Structure 1
């Protein structure tokens, strides 16, 4: 039996584990974007919406591989 959850259950409703990784990645990306805005690092970004989208994807992948070990396999 595998220790990796196939589904997450919340009050009888089943969700895929990547949904949790996506939500945590979005929250992490929002926090990093706020940090970049407050410190002035966002002035080096050419296209902010595209950068934020890439940041969400990167954070989701990082959180997904940390939360669910077989996120890609």
Structure 2
């Protein structure tokens, strides 16, 4: 995983899923099984894929609260 910068993490904290069953849910709040499914299937190309890959790594390491804290500290 590439070390994300501050702006990337702030954007990730405020990004919602743009489509599908979990449309409009914050990426960090997606169910773990769904993010694992994307990991196995392949993440989409582009920024959304990078964010989902980061969410996967955060969930894998139990660090979801880090993003929730960022969302509170840097409101949109």
Q: Same fold (TM over 0.5)?
A: no
Q: What TM-score, normalized by structure 2, do the two folds share?
A: 0.28
Q: What TM-score, normalized by structure 1, do the two folds share?
A: 0.29
Larger radius of gyration: 1
Would you tell me which structure has more strand in proportion to its own residues? 1
